[in-house]
Amino acid sequence: DMKLRIIATALAFVISSTSAQAAPSLIAYGDINQATLEDFEDSSIPTFPGSTYAFDGFDYSSGSTRVSAGGNSCPNSSECVFAGGASGLSGRLLDVFQSGTIALGLEMGKGRESDDVKATVVGASGSRTFTTIASGLIGFLDPHGLISVTFDNLGAGGGVGNYGFDNVITGTTVVPLPAGLPLLAASLLALGLLRRRAKGA
């Protein structure tokens, strides 16, 4: 009847609005329910200039990336994916995530905290650029699925610094849920109940 149509239309609007508001965002590293972890401690990981390498849960590629021991841009002072020197300006791409991946977390280390590192996150809901990434544990989320994350070292005052990744995690769920997801779930449930009631009438 007309009342059911009005309610269904309103729910559909809520659902579409919730979906439209979803976009890549920064989240806490600890809010990611870890599905994969890559700490680069496996001795079989090679030094690899100018190549793409498949790690646990993602691929990583760039112009002159290498796995390097030590250095102040390796957060745990051991092994990490490292980008340095003049080539530090070129992008470092993380992509080919496992199916269902919505979140990526990593430990960022920079040679100088004054160096600006930019992250461009592309997901199923769109893309977003974060212009200043600090050292430490960081996370990125697209509730509709991650496609890629690219890092660029912008340097500081014309300088070019070094930076490295460590303890990279991926996740298919996060805690707590983004604010829009419970509303979306409730709307879908209500819409299903209305359809069931309409069929029974």
Tell me, what's the pLDDT at 130? 94
Tell me, what's the pLDDT at 20? 46
Q: Is the peptide bond before 49 cis (omega within 30 degrees of 0)?
A: no
Reading phi first (left if > 0) and then psi (alpha if -120 to 50, else beta), residue 189 is in alpha
SS3 of residue 180 by DSSP: helix
User: Which residue in this structure is represented by tokens 């697209």?
Assistant: 142
Type of residue numbered 129: T
Give the pTM. 0.74
Q: Per-block average pLDDT, block size 10, for the chain (201 residues)?
A: 62 52 88 94 65 85 62 72 60 91 94 84 96 91 96 70 86 76 58 63 61
Tell me, what's the pLDDT at 172? 97
Tell me, what's the pLDDT at 184? 56
